[in-house]
Amino acid sequence: MQYISHYESPIGRIVISSNQNALTGLWFEGQKHFAADPGAEYEERLTPVNKETEVWLDIYFNGKKPDFTPPVSLMGTDFQMTVWSILCSIPYGKTMTYGGIARIAALKTGREKMSAQAAGGAIGRNPVSIIVPCHRVIACDGSLTGYAGGLEKKGFLLKLENAI
């Protein structure tokens, strides 16, 4: 069973999805790859995990780095899981390039190399925006590209963290 709640952020409404134990989704309503139907069974309910996520978001949107992370349960391919684990290693207020993530992912998966586009495809399907910080990934020239929630939101999040 999935439990859905909504959070009003300064940059748009966010949908929070959890199971009994962990956060399973966090999306801006209507974003690309938005999981409008998070599973066969779901109900609107503010669970303890959803509430903890809201507290995390309150701290974050007040311009502070939260000192905790709600429990997160990600489901994806092995490659996606590798890329998402790299995203989680990007510190608050810092950025990494798509190419940098591709190089690390190649090393972790025993490949000689990997394209930045392949990494970008996995990044774009991150189901837990902001907490799994896909917004901290930028192009090699420093430009903002490829955020499923929209580039305006990506810019806002990076400015909030003083990353740009």
Q: What are phi and psi of 141, to 5 degrees?
A: -90, 5
**Strand 12-18 relative to strand 23-28, pairing:** antiparallel
Q: Comparing C-alpha atoms, which of 17, 116, 115, 146 is closest to residue 72? A: 17
Q: Give catalytic status of residue 140 as yes or no.
A: no
Which of these is catalytic: 134, 138, 157, 160?
Answer: 134
- Decide if 25 contacts 128 (C-beta within 8 A): yes
Could you give the 3-state DSSP secondary structure of residue 6? strand
Q: Comparing C-alpha atoms, which of 9, 25, 128 is closest to residue 63? A: 9
Burial of 18 (0-12, 13-18, 19+ CB in 10 A): buried
Hey, which residues are catalytic here?
134
